[in-house]
């Protein structure tokens, strides 16, 4: 196929069939409304369809391999053949849809004129690359993971680097920028700072972000002072506390955004009280405490509230959580304490109906 046609002659995903070998009968199955919808798909829809295409392609290959092996063994495979044919039909239908989508974008038409790029790869690039954020081609290289100047350190190497750099002292905003420069990362992408042990660090970082990068969305990760962190400039939150009593916290964020001071202060006190019963020493026990809270709220049974990797917690904490939830006036299911004699807090007979 020539470049003039606007379609590439390459193959998406290393597939064995020609990128341009689209079954034209599939096009007839797309009615006019669907063809119009394909032209105006959102980036989210296109991303999903690209992922669905490769999923369908893997399924088709898998079923064709089964069909080939069954035929070689002279075994019946009528149903597998039917499955392979339908997988191919869905795969081709998605490709046609993405062809329409990319054909409605000048960049998509240009991309498909490049040898080796067809509708699926072109749609993937259109849907995933925000050219407004890519000032140079190097930004796209790094996004694709092929920037030769950048290396992925991993969790262990990153932790070692930070420990060597800070020498066990609390990090400052300047430290964040210095470490980012050393590993060739952009410090402005650091939008979430989990600093449970340092209010000062949060204050420093939030102030610098608000001054240097007011256009950035500042996301707080502070469970123990969620309300105050919103007052410091955060506009939304990504917190473990969000696993329970979600309405309480969303109302707090909404009150802050609307400038409802009285309501904000009231809710802030309630959220702080909830956090003070979850995020305490040992800090690693917060997962079990959250599960216990969900158990009290009737979301999960008691049998599902065990954290096998977390520390064991005293029975009193289970009761304290129930009293805290009662004080917050949230709907919950009254439960008895877990048996003190059960070190792993396995459910006793009285929890069988939980």
**For the chain, domain boundaries:** 3-143, 280-354
Residue matched to tokens 């049998």: 303
Backbone angles phi, psi at 220, to 5 degrees: -85, 145
Residue 79 is inside which H or E element, if any?
Answer: helix 78-103
Contact (Cβ atoms closer than 8 angstroms) between residue 80 and residue 66: yes
Residue matched to tokens 């020609």: 18
Q: Does 341 score more than 50 pLDDT? A: no
Q: In residues, how long is the chain?
A: 354
pLDDT band at 27 (very low <50, low <70, confident <90, very high): very low
pLDDT tens column, 163-203: 777 777 666 666 777 777 777 776 655 434 444 445 777 77
282 upstream amide cis, omega within 30 of 0 = yes
Q: What is the DSSP letter of 135?
A: S
In whole angstroms, how far apart are CA 80 and each of 8, 65, 68, 74? 32, 10, 10, 14
pTM of the predicted model as reported, rounded to 2 decimal places: 0.42
Q: What is the four-CA torsion angle of 101, 107, 109, 111, rounded to 10 degrees?
A: -110
Two structure tokens written together for 305? 């509230």
Is 302 exposed, middle or buried (CB count within 10 Å of its CB: 0-12, 13-18, 19+)?
buried
pLDDT of residue 137: 84
H and E: helices and strands count for the chain: 15, 2
pLDDT tens column, 89-101: 888 888 989 999 9
pLDDT averaged over every residue in the chain: 77
Two structure tokens written together for 245? 């009593």
pLDDT tens column, 307-328: 888 888 888 889 888 888 888 8
Residue matched to tokens 């939830």: 325
Residue matched to tokens 């202060």: 265
24-33, 150-159, 176-185, 274-283, range with greatest mean pLDDT: 274-283
Residues forming beta bridges with residue 237, ordered by sequence position? 220
Characterize 1-25 residue by residue with b for buried, 16 or more Cβ atoms within 10 angstroms of its Cβ, and e for exposed: eeeeebbbbbbbeeeeeebbebeee
Q: Does 251 score more than 70 pLDDT? A: yes
End-to-end CA distance of the chain: 65
């Amino acid at each position: 196929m020539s470049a003039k046609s606007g379609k590439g002659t390459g193959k998406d995903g290393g597939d064995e069939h020609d990128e341009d070998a689209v079954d034209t009968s599939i096009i007839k199955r797309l009615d006019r409304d669907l063809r119009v919808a394909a032209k105006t798909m959102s980036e989210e829809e296109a991303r999903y369809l690209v992922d669905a295409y490769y999923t369908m392609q893997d399924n088709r290959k898998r079923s064709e391999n089964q069909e080939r092996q069954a035929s070689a063994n002279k075994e019946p495979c009528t149903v597998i053949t039917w499955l392979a044919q339908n997988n191919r039909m869905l795969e081709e239908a998605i490709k046609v849809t993405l062809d329409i989508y990319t054909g409605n974008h000048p960049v998509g038409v240009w991309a498909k004129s490049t040898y080796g790029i067809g509708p699926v790869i072109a749609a993937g690039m259109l849907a995933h690359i925000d050219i407004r954020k890519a000032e140079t081609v190097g930004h796209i290289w790094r996004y694709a993971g092929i920037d030769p100047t950048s290396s992925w350190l991993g969790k262990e190497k990153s932790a070692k680097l930070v420990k060597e750099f800070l020498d066990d002292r609390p990090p400052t905003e300047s430290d964040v920028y210095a470490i980012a420069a050393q590993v060739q990362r952009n410090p402005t992408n650091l939008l979430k700072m989990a600093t449970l042990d340092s209010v000062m660090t949060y204050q420093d970082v939030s102030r610098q972000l608000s001054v240097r990068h007011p256009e950035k969305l500042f996301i707080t990760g502070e469970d123990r002072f969620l309300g105050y962190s919103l007052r410091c400039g955060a506009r939304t939150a990504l917190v473990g506390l969000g696993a329970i009593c979600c309405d309480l916290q969303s109302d707090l964020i909404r009150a802050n955004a609307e400038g409802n001071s009285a309501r904000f202060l009231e809710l802030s006190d309630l959220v702080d009280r909830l956090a003070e019963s979850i995020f305490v020493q040992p800090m690693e026990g917060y997962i079990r405490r959250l599960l216990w809270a969900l158990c009290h709220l009737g979301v999960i049974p008691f049998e599902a509230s065990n954290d096998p990797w977390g520390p064991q917690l005293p029975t009193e904490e289970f009761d304290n959580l129930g009293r805290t939830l009662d004080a917050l006036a949230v709907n919950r299911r009254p439960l008895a304490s877990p048996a003190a004699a059960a070190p792993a807090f396995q459910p006793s007979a009285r929890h069988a109906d939980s």
